Amino acid sequence: MVTEACKKNQITVNNQVAKASREVFPSDKITFRKDQITHIISVLDIPDNRVGAKLVDVYRKDETPAESFAHLELLKLAKEHYRKNFINFVFEIYK
């Protein structure tokens, strides 16, 4: 999944397009787009070995602005609103 995103130039490290083999270092900023939100992750430290999912947050800091998540909620609400109106419109036509 990440390899494909790198091939499509969707992931940047310090504002430079990253390849899947790119090494990251502490203080690097990783930017990627997921679910219509541009996420910004700051690397705090590199673990010596692989770690479980629960410990990942020790090594990274999510710097994604809160407005991005609020914008996503607005998009979801708008989508639901138009979907309901369309369904009501269709039912009115076929009465």
Along the 95 residues of the chain, how does pLDDT read in single tens digits?
777 877 778 888 998 888 888 888 999 999 998 877 888 999 999 999 999 989 988 999 989 888 877 777 887 887 777 666 666 655 666 66
Q: Which two tokens stand for residue 48?
A: 């010596």
* pLDDT for 6: 77
* pLDDT for 73: 80
How far is 19 from 55, CA to CA, in rounded Å?
25
* pLDDT for 79: 78
* pLDDT for 2: 73
Cα four-point dihedral sign 71, 77, 82, 86: positive
* pLDDT for 93: 62
**pTM of the entire structure?**
0.68
Alpha helices of the chain — where are they, by DSSP H? 2-7, 56-59, 66-93
* pLDDT for 88: 62
